[in-house]
Structure 1
Amino acid sequence: MTTQFGDLLKHWREARNVSQLDLGLEANVSARHISFLETGRARPSRAMVLNLGSVLEVPRGARNTLLHAAGFAPGYRARDLDEAEMAPIAAALDWMLTRHLPYPAMVLDRRWTILRANTTARMLLAQLGLAENANLIEALLDTHLLPAVIENWEEMARHFVHRLRAQSAHMGGDDWLDGMAAQLAARLGDTAPDPAAGTQAIIATRYRLGETTLSFFSTLSQFSTAEDIALADWQIEHLFPADETTRAMLEGLGGG
């Protein structure tokens, strides 16, 4: 990707399918000024770069790239959870993971790597041959891991192809996400979708563990006002039992 601010701005505007006029209206500047910024006839202020990045919903890391291209210092950074100012965030994550017991919950980064997991999630992951720091997309492709235990693997793989492509598009393009989506699509080949697809209220993932099948649906949540680069991309996945057998088994584990 180019490092020139005007070209970067045009890239993000087109990625969001926004005209110069519409962007100008949202950013409270003229379409003419947007055109001048894209062609290099005008230079943006730091405030303008941040304003345009916000209007276009550019990810924080990419906003740093816009700032650098315009000649300014980065405005966002990635912090470690053990830094003092991140203590309330770490506590909130621990609270959400613990309160979800006995059901599984985990924290994932934007590339679906497991960063944290509660007790039940770690138990489930161990049964699946995984652990914290494992990557769920890579595991979904590894024939010895998730494809071997997910009864409806094709249904889930097809779902993730669309999710990864949408996630990449939102980020203005991500080679890793696009590559994983392409690998999943290639594995699916010409497999026809389940005729029942679209008729269900929600897609549950069915894990076959020996004589038992556990069925889960999940919710994903994020920090809505995160300005930290990494934190803005993290998501907390809460798994819920999709049938009575799964619910009874998990609640039999107690509070973890």
Structure 2
Amino acid sequence: MTTQFGNLLKEWRQTRKLSQLDLGLSADVSARHISFLETGRARPSRAMVLNLSAVLEAPRDTRNAMLHAAGFAPSYRARGLDEADMIPIKDALEWMLERHMPYPAMVLDRHWKVIRANATADLLLTQMGLGEGTSLIEALVDDTGLPAIIENWPEVAQHMVQRLRAESAHIGGDAYLDAMAARLSEQVHGATLDLSSGSKAVVPTRYRLGELTLSFFSTMSQFSTAEDIALADWRIEHLFPADEQTRELLVRLAAGGS
């Protein structure tokens, strides 16, 4: 007879495309024991639940769910940035955002909601009708939002579809990310794409703001040892100018020019 924990374990093992033998080897237990855990013939210890969920790279909230299913208290929680043990994290975020000036940088959660933004990012977001607390994904799937001001929208959207699907797959599936990827895919279905894009080092995003066009590419940073539920999902996106015109404009803005 299977158990809730056994079902979760099997579901995540299959999500990661691992056999019972593969999982057992990585977790340093026998495939037979993995089978017994999945069928309910054996009960896991708390340490075993944490070991297996770590090997499966399950998100922190899923690890809590696996612990609960096995009869144990959760190990992970979401903290506010003003809590004492989060102060160094808050300081690190502010340091990264401010040191990236005059270029835009922002902190995003799993669903691309803007948690924090530096002054340049805040200025650009305001010009786009966005700000802290809003979701960039929602703006991407809104025809009157970002698609209306991104000059190379079809190729950018194609990359965003791939990114959303990859992020969903990494966390074992996310219905929201999958739905947004499907909506974006429908928007660009049949669109004419730049077939030479594969020859580029990166595909920049070109924003048209009034008479100006700003071109950016971005990099992502994460906290590699995060145990907090929310923090484990946060990414810091650093935008860099993809051409000299954009760089010069950002430098002038930072200097108080026009």
| TM-score between both structures, scaled by the size of structure 2 | 0.96
**Is the CA contact 1:101–1:255 (under 8 Å) kept in the aligned structure 2?**
no
* Superposed displacement of residue 3, structure 1: 7.5
Cα distance, 1:213 vs. partner? 0.5
CA–CA distance in 1 between the matches of 2:37 and 2:232?
Answer: 27
Aligned to 1:106: 106
In the TM superposition, what is the alpha-carbon distance from 1:82 to its structure 2 partner? 1.0
Post-superposition CA distance 1:191-241 (Å, at most 9, x none): 253211211101100001111110000000000000000000000000000
- Corresponding residue SS for 2:201: coil
Instruction: Count residues in correspondence.
Output: 255
Q: Which residue of 1 aligns with 2:208?
A: 208
Equivalence for 1:226: 226
DSSP-derived class of the 1:230 partner: helix
Letter in 1 for 2:191: T
Q: Which residue of 2 aligns with 1:244?
A: 244
1:122-141 correspondence runs (5 A): 122-141=122-141
* SS state at 1:151 partner: coil
Taking the aligned partners of 1:161 and 1:239, their CA distance within structure 2 comes to 19
Q: Return closer, same or farther for 1:255/1:78 CA change in 2, 3 Å cut-off.
A: farther
CA displacement 1:153-203 (0-9 Å, x = unmatched): 111111111111111111111111111011111111222532112111011
Which residue identity does 2:47 align to in structure 1?
A
CA contact 2:215–2:243 (8 Å) conserved in 1:
yes
Worse overlay, 96-105 or 142-151: 142-151
1:10 to 2:25 alignment: no
How many Å separate the matches in 2 of 1:63 and 1:193?
Answer: 41
Give the counterpart letter for 1:229 in structure 2.
I
Amino acid at match of 1:208: R
Give distance in 2, aligned partners of 1:102 and 1:14.
Answer: 45
Return the alpha-carbon distance in structure 2 between the equivalents of residues 98 and 29 of structure 1: 46
1:180 corresponds in structure 2 to: 180
Counterparts of 2:208 and 2:75 in 1: how far apart (Å)? 47
Structure 2 counterpart of 1:145, one-letter code: G
Match of 1:64 in 2: 64
What letter corresponds to residue 68 of structure 1 in structure 2? H
Structure-to-structure mapping, 1:40-79, within 5 angstroms? 40-79=40-79
Taking the aligned partners of 2:120 and 2:42, their CA distance within structure 1 comes to 56
Q: Which residue of 2 aligns with 1:32?
A: 32
Matches within 5 A, 1:118-197: 118-197=118-197
> 1: distance between equivalents of 2:97 and 2:202?
23
**Structure 2: distance between partners of 1:197 and 1:4:** 47
Question: What letter is aligned with 1:204?
Answer: P
Gaps of 5+ in 2: none
Determine helix, strand or coil for the equivalent of 1:18.
coil
Instruction: State the Cα distance separating 1:47 from its structure 2 match.
Output: 0.1
Residue 164 of structure 1 contacts residue 177 of structure 1 at CA under 8 Å; is this kept in 2? yes
Q: Which runs of 5+ in 1 are unaligned?
A: none
Letter of the 2:250 partner, please give it.
Answer: L
Residues of 1 paired with 2:21 and 2:188: CA distance?
Answer: 42
Change (3 A) 1:192 1:40: farther
Greater shift after overlay, 233-242 or 127-136?
127-136
- Say what the alpha-carbon RMSD is for the aligned residues: 1.3
- Percent sequence identity is 69
Distance 2:50 2:152 in 1: 44
Match of 2:198 in 1: 198
Amino acid at match of 1:187: Q
TM-score, normalised with respect to structure 1: 0.97
| Contact 2:3 2:39 (C-alpha < 8 Å) held by counterparts | no
Instruction: Tell me the alpha carbon deviations over residues 19-38 of structure 1, each in whole angstroms, 9 at most, x when there is no partner.
Output: 11111111111000001001
